[in-house]
Each structure stands twice: as C-alpha cells, then as structure tokens.
Structure 1
Amino acid sequence: GAAQPVTPAMQKAAQAAVAPGGTNCESRIEYTTAWAAKLPGTFPVYPRGNTQEAAGTDEGGCALRVVSFLTPVPLNDVLAFYHTRALANGYSAEHVKAGGDNILSGISGENAFVIYGRRLPSGVTEIDLVTSTP
C-alpha cells in the first residue's frame, strides 16, 4: 500500500512519547478511564461521547493522554467540534484521510493533539484522541 501521510502534529505527538531527556512516556502509561477526565480543557471527550478506554501519564516530564470513545454524532460534526476548539486555542489544525481514518492533528508550541476518527458499520462514530502537553 501507499505510505500514509504524516503531518507535523502527528510527528510531534509521536515524539511526545519520549519526553525531554529521553524519558519513554509510553512505558509509563497507566490504563484507567480516569485519564479521560484529565484531558486538556481544549480537547475534552466529546459532549455525547461514551469513553471506552483511556490511558495516560504525568510521570518523568510526560503529559500524555490517550482516550477512545464512541458517540452517535456524525463524524464530520465531531471533527468540526475539535477543529474549532483547536483553532480557538492557538493550535494549528490539519485534516487528512489515511488507512480508513479521518485524522485531525495540530500543534501549539510543544503541545500536540491527534484525533483518529471513523464511522463504524453500526453508524456510531469511534474516536481515538491523543494529547501531549509536556
């Protein structure tokens, strides 16, 4: 298959898995839905979202959040919500399609977000939201 596009924000979010000083943030992640409540205010779980899984860490200079949720709201409406919030809070925002996902990503200084969204066969929207605010 063709190479999937990698946006600058996706690159920064991937780099965020390693904090300054070489700390491996991904290895410090804890899995509990409590992390959904600890998302940055700019990127909350969508108002009609039902959290399925969440993980994150604040250890070792890391501030990584990963939350997956479902919502009955159409994918385009959910992406528009996050796009608007990103721009209003000083983030860039870029939308690409890759591997069956709609990917919205952006950066603001050292902060980054990536949202992977897809419509499931059941008609429900599934979102994977990743934020890094070191």
Structure 2
Amino acid sequence: MRLANKVMVMLGPVSALAALTGCGRGEPPPPPPRDPVIAAVLQEPLMTDPDLVGLSQEGALFTLAGPASAPIPLIDRTDDELAKVRAGIVRLVGADAQPAPDPAPAMTGTEPGATLADTAARLVRELRRDPRCAVSAGRSAIWGASLPEAVPLLPRGHLIDGAGHDLLGCRLRAVTFLTALPPREVIDVYWNLAGVARLSPRHDAGQDYARIFASGGEAGFAAYVRTRADGTEVTLVTVGL
C-alpha cells in the first residue's frame, strides 16, 4: 500500500502535465514573428574553419566582420568604443605620439588599386621589388591575424578582407578593415608606427584618400585611409616585414 502511494505521488506531476498538454487541442498557435535580420543570419552557411572555432569577439584585437550578407552593423562608433580603441593605440605607439605632417600631393601610380591585389602590386613596384612578389597571394581574411607585429591592425578594427603569402622571400600581407577612429587619427597612428619600426614615412593624399607610405630598403608598408558612411576604411599592405 505504501508502494502504491509512492507511485501515485511520483505520477502526480506527470499526470498534471499530461492534463495541461491535453487541453485546448484546437488550432495550433500562430508562430511568433521572425526578425528579418536574425532570419538572414540563421540562413547563412556555418563557419567551420578550425582556426576560427571558438573565437570570441569580446575583447578581441580585431573581429572578422564580413563581408556579411545580413544587414548587421559592422562597427560600434559610440564614445565608449572610441575610448577603448584609443586606449589600445596608446599601448601601441605610446602616449607621446606625434601627429603626422600635412599631406603632400600623391604621385601618379601610387593610388590604391581596385582590388587588394592591385594595391599590393603598386606597393611592390614602389619598393622596386620583383613583380612576382605581388602574385599568388592567397585570399582569406585570416591573413589579418599574421600581419607584422610592427604594423598591426588598429585595436578593435573589423577585418573585411585579406590576402597574403610567404613566397619568393617576399612576405606579403594585404588587408582591408573598418575602424571607428577618425581618418586623421588613423594616419597619425601609422605615421608613428613607421617611426617605431625604423622606416622612413611619407604622408600623401589623393582625391578621396590619404596614405602613409613607409620604407626601409626593399621592405615597407602603405596604409590607405578613406572615409565611409559606416566608419573609416583602411587598406594596409606590408611587404618584406
């Protein structure tokens, strides 16, 4: 009898649940409305690159932002985010960094190309390297993780695209990324990084871009900076660093 009572006590919640689920078996409730942004993200292919599994964006040096097909904001441009970016820059170049001089007019043939490969080829020519240095660059945003330590992405920058190779004795990296930092501050950062790396920098500007070009022998980098509606776009190419 005691056993029967125990069984009834144990079955009580189950019976009650069954009773609740049996009620109102009419038309099923309508599905909740779907957020179009969330739906677009869920329909995109899963990222399965083993080098990126488990990557957290929180506190990341840079984030892999796109190109995204879903309409997701790429960067945070609040005052709080800018403060975090600037704090990271102080760690890169120090608190006594100097502003870049006013730009000189850009020389013909030094403007950014239509693609990362074009821009890399122009830098190779400017450094008077073997033209083959700019070919066979494998395209992947993950190249942004292996930029030279002396010429990194800006802290908390959002990587859009990348290319690079380690062939022919010519280590090449080319990336495009977005930052919340204003263009003039981006120029100042790369001007100072050139000095830290003991490269000779030059600041020039074209119609819709400004550039820091820095070289030392056959090695160097170019950072092209443009204003976009959603932030500051930077195309950074390094050769031989």
Q: Which interval holds the TM-score relative to the shorter structure?
A: 0.7 to 0.9
More strand by share: 1
Residue of structure 2 equivalent to 1:79: 187
Segments of structure 2 that go 5 or more residues without pairing to the other structure are 1-104, 111-118
Distance change in 2, residues 1:86/1:75 (3 Å): same
The AA in structure 1 aligned to 2:203 is H
> Are 1:13 and 2:113 matched, yes or no?
no
Distance change in 2, residues 1:56/1:17 (3 Å): farther
Q: How many residues align?
A: 127
Distance change in 2, residues 1:12/1:93 (3 Å): farther
The AA in structure 2 aligned to 1:91 is L
Residue of structure 1 equivalent to 2:158: 50
> Are 1:93 and 2:201 matched, yes or no?
yes
Residue of structure 1 equivalent to 2:238: 131
Kindly state the Cα deviation for residue 4 of structure 1 after the two structures are TM-superposed.
4.8
| Counterpart secondary structure, 1:60 | coil
* TM-score normalised to structure 2 length: 0.48
More helix by share: 2
User: Are 1:31 and 1:56, in contact at CA under 8 Å, matched by a contact in 2?
Assistant: yes
Whose radius of gyration is greater, 1 or 2?
A: 2
Q: 1:115 aligns with which of 200, 220, 223?
A: 223
CA RMSD of aligned residues (A): 2.7
Kindly state the Cα deviation for residue 6 of structure 1 after the two structures are TM-superposed.
5.0
Kindly state the Cα deviation for residue 7 of structure 1 after the two structures are TM-superposed.
8.9
User: Are 1:102 and 1:117, in contact at CA under 8 Å, matched by a contact in 2?
Assistant: yes
Runs of 4 or more, structure 1, over 3 Å off, are: 16-19
User: CA–CA distance in 2 between the matches of 1:86 and 1:14?
Assistant: 17
Kindly state the Cα deviation for residue 41 of structure 1 after the two structures are TM-superposed.
0.8
Identity %: 28
Residue of structure 1 equivalent to 2:210: 102
Segments of structure 1 that go 5 or more residues without pairing to the other structure are none
User: CA–CA distance in 2 between the matches of 1:17 and 1:68?
Assistant: 23
User: CA–CA distance in 1 between the matches of 2:183 and 2:168?
Assistant: 35
